[in-house]
Amino acid sequence: MTQNRNLSKLDDLLISVDQGLRTVFGRPLTTGRPNPARGMPEGALDEASEGVARGLMRVNHAGEVAAQGLYQGQAVAARLPQVRRTMEEAAQEENDHLAWCEDRVRELGGRPSLLGPFWYAGSFMIGALAGVAGDKWSLGFVAETERQVGDHLGDHLYRLPVDDQRSRAIVEQMREDEARHATVAVESGGAPLPRPLRRLMGLSSKVMTTLAYRI
């Protein structure tokens, strides 16, 4: 883990570049947790239901790409070592989600969003700006992001075909993890974000989910 020794800003930047390349073009490092869908039978989905599941899981994968950019940008700009560790630990769990979602998208005969590099780069810049604003705002941004992601995942559980237990198991575990990340961010000192910023985050998320569902 990077917290075991002192790293320069250049080291942090190079690590972030490596993480970005792994996230968008390769296979990121995970915690090794088993896929929640392991051992579950594939549901009998018709073409329409399979298309819905494929689109929703592609959206979830795009969201995890964005989450990696956000966490990496915040970790680079974080001022306190503990805040950086919080970001890094959450990012590694998000890598689990990233891998699970990609596996499921491909099982359903699809592919990840073609706009992955844009999701990562844009989120990295937002995360870095939040980090520059100060650790309490950066943590507050994490808490609000995870809250909104949890809402999206709840909606996806409602929209996913009932027979698609494999996708549902993944989304349920993701929602549990996101709620915990939000709680940790608040307990670590995250400040509530102003209402206009929360609304802007919601609008941005809606644009991303709409595009990622199809592209």
More confident residue, 82 or 110: 110
* The pLDDT of residue 160: 93
Average pLDDT over residues 119-143: 81
* The pLDDT of residue 119: 85
* The pLDDT of residue 168: 95
Domain presence at residue 28: no
Q: 61: which residues sit within 8 A by CB, 6+ positions away?
A: 98, 101, 102, 105, 112, 113, 212
| Whole-angstrom distance, CA of residue 200 vs CA of residue 12 | 29
* The pLDDT of residue 3: 46
How many structural domains are present in the chain? 1
Residue numbers of the domain that contains 142: 8-23+61-214
Residue 180, both tokens: 């915990």
First and final C-alpha spacing in the chain: 35
pLDDT in tens, 35-78: 999 988 888 888 999 999 999 999 999 988 888 888 777 777 76
DSSP letter (8 states) at residue 160: S
Domain presence at residue 68: yes
Q: Which residue from 134, 100, 117 is spatially nearest to 21, judged by alpha carbons?
A: 117
Segments in the chain forming alpha helices (H): 9-25, 47-77, 81-107, 116-133, 135-159, 165-187, 195-214
Average pLDDT over residues 129-139: 79
Q: Which residue from 158, 156, 176 is spatially nearest to 104, judged by alpha carbons?
A: 156
% of the chain exceeding 70 in pLDDT: 85
Domain presence at residue 1: no
CA atoms within 13 A on the CB side of 146: 28
Domain presence at residue 53: no
More confident residue, 174 or 201: 174
* The pLDDT of residue 174: 92
Q: Which residue from 66, 55, 70, 67 is spatially nearest to 156, judged by alpha carbons?
A: 55
CATH number at residue 188: 1.20.1260.10
Domain presence at residue 39: no
Domain presence at residue 44: no
Domain presence at residue 131: yes
Domain presence at residue 66: yes
